[in-house]
Structure 1
């Protein structure tokens, strides 16, 4: 967990109401990919992600689906940067088969928040069936190990933000 979060700060497991995903699925999805890749690229620039692992991501496509929000972000890693992919769905190849993403992560919003806050690790979420990972197994292990290796910078203290437990 982040050092600057209060010890009592925890993200509970929750699932948003069904209507949220119904509405979210009808909204444009490209903004999610832009925001996610912007954050990932900031982590690259800050050297938070191991460079040797990043090389293994070259040319791979990823899909992150937030099930209870009806949203998804599809992106790739090329030329040292994460880049959003704007096509919806899975494009068909010339043979008519669908193109499959190299790695797909699916979970509810709370699981992703717990993962980012380091409240839960990917293995625990996976084995508790709160996180689904599909695709290239070796690539999945590279990404998991990359996430485990990230040393998050200490968050700044914001005046008025209580850091003591009540």
Structure 2
């Protein structure tokens, strides 16, 4: 799947990525944003890298909302999370534990360890059942599809 999607994403301008990502993340983390749970990210930058798609996003928190920096801004991140797209979807769909992927070296967390732990804990606290139905259904379908595909490939190799 990533090989098919990579050319499409590389052509997608930053403004389009930002227009899709910030509202989606704001929806997913609505309660956490309302409760001020992102204050630890104030004046700090989180870099998220989807390695197989060649995507990099720099996120922060300012004035009670998530913000995203352009790749041209040359932001120096305080912490970075990187993994392939399938693993990130499996994390979102609760099919894989981030700690397990971290110890398998499939999820890399680099930089400020304390900040990285706070981000991970915030992600772990998301109740997937509380997501808007379209987001919930898309994440659940994608995670199930990836998990089933991986299980079939493992069975075929044995």
Question: Could you state the TM-score of these two structures normalised by the residue count of structure 2?
Answer: 0.70
Structure with greater proportional helix content? 2
Q: Which residue of 1 aligns with 2:68?
A: 84
Match among 34, 38, 47 for residue 23 of structure 2: 38
Gaps of 5+ in 1: 1-14, 92-98, 162-166
Cα distance, 1:116 vs. partner?
0.6
Please list the CA deviations of residues 118-153 of structure 1 after superposition, one character each: whole Å capped at 9, or x if unmatched.
Answer: 111211111111111111110000011111122233
Q: Which residue of 2 aligns with 1:16?
A: 2
Cα distance, 1:26 vs. partner?
5.2
Tell which deviates more after alignment, 65-74 or 36-45.
Answer: 36-45
Say whether the 8 Å CA contact 2:39–2:61 is kept in structure 1.
no
Gaps of 5+ in 2: 142-158
Q: 1:154 to 1:58 in 2, by over 3 A?
A: closer
Say whether the 8 Å CA contact 2:9–2:55 is kept in structure 1.
yes
Whole-angstrom distance in 2 between the partners of 1:150 and 1:48:
9
Q: 1:33 to 1:130 in 2, by over 3 A?
A: farther
Question: Could you state the TM-score of these two structures normalised by the residue count of structure 1?
Answer: 0.67
Helix, strand or coil: the match of 1:77? strand
Helix, strand or coil: the match of 1:68? coil
Match among 35, 40, 57 for residue 51 of structure 1: 35
Larger radius of gyration: 1
Tell which deviates more after alignment, 133-142 or 36-45.
Answer: 36-45
